[in-house]
Amino acid sequence: MGQYLAVGLRLKATVSKEKQLEGKSIEEILGKVEDKYNLSEIYERREEETYYEYSIKKEVLDKELVPLIEKFYALRYTKDERTDATNVIGALKALPDTSARLELLNDRRFQTYQAGDDMEYFHLDIFPPMKIRVCSCNAILSIDGKIAMECYGRVFDFFSRCIAVQLQEFALSKALTVWIDG
């Protein structure tokens, strides 16, 4: 199994409640995490016993999921490329609602529309320095590989920002993320 360069939507993110957070301003720390991962107004935050969970609001997904994917595919894939993007759009439009469209991710029958997870540590610039584990559940919209990279975080942030600018008419563009999957 290899690693692949993936681009997709961060549907859900969980932020671990680390022991080292005790005594710190949780709202300040979560604010820094929210800024870093663009967990903006399109996400709802829920507190659980051992983590905070951010999920994209249902009304945003209902309104923008298919239109954003259509425009993303038009930007990402050329007419000469052999992809299943056209089949994905047809399948998504044939499904009755967003829940069914998100369930399709788990079938993994499309290369350009499948579930993917990512986990990384966010290093906080506070004293004393600390890192917080952030796990994401994503909808893969593009996956290419195999890839091997070291120290890739800043360039992936750049890729994410560039893609979001191209799709800025969609609130969901704030949920786009780039990572190495596998």
Q: Where are the domains of the chain?
A: 4-181
Q: What is the pLDDT of residue 79?
A: 73
Q: Is 138:117 a contact under the CB 8 Å cutoff? A: yes
Q: What 3-state DSSP class applies to 114?
A: strand
Q: What is the rounded average pLDDT of the residues 108-112?
A: 91
How many alpha carbons fall within 13 Å on the CB side of residue 160? 22
- Say if residue 105's pLDDT is above 70: yes
Q: Place 182 in a pLDDT band, splitting at 50, 70 and 90.
A: low
1: Cα separation from own chain's centroid: 22
In sequence order, which residues have a C-beta less than 8 Å from that of residue 171 and are 6 or more positions away? 41, 42, 60, 64
pLDDT at residue number 127:
67
Please write the tens of the pLDDT for every residue from 118-169.
Answer: 998 888 777 677 788 899 999 999 887 777 666 556 667 768 888 888 888 9
Cβ(151)–Cβ(26) below 8 Å: no
- Check residue 23 and give its pLDDT: 59
* Cα first-last separation, the chain: 7
Dihedral pair phi/psi, residue 45, rounded to 5°: -105, 135
Q: What is the pLDDT of residues 15-62, one digit of tens each?
A: 988 766 665 678 888 888 899 899 989 999 999 988 999 999 999 999
Question: Span 168-179, mean pLDDT?
Answer: 86
- 152 to each of 1, 39, 48, 68, 160, how far by Cα in Å? 20, 21, 31, 26, 12
Total residue count of the chain as it appears in this document: 182
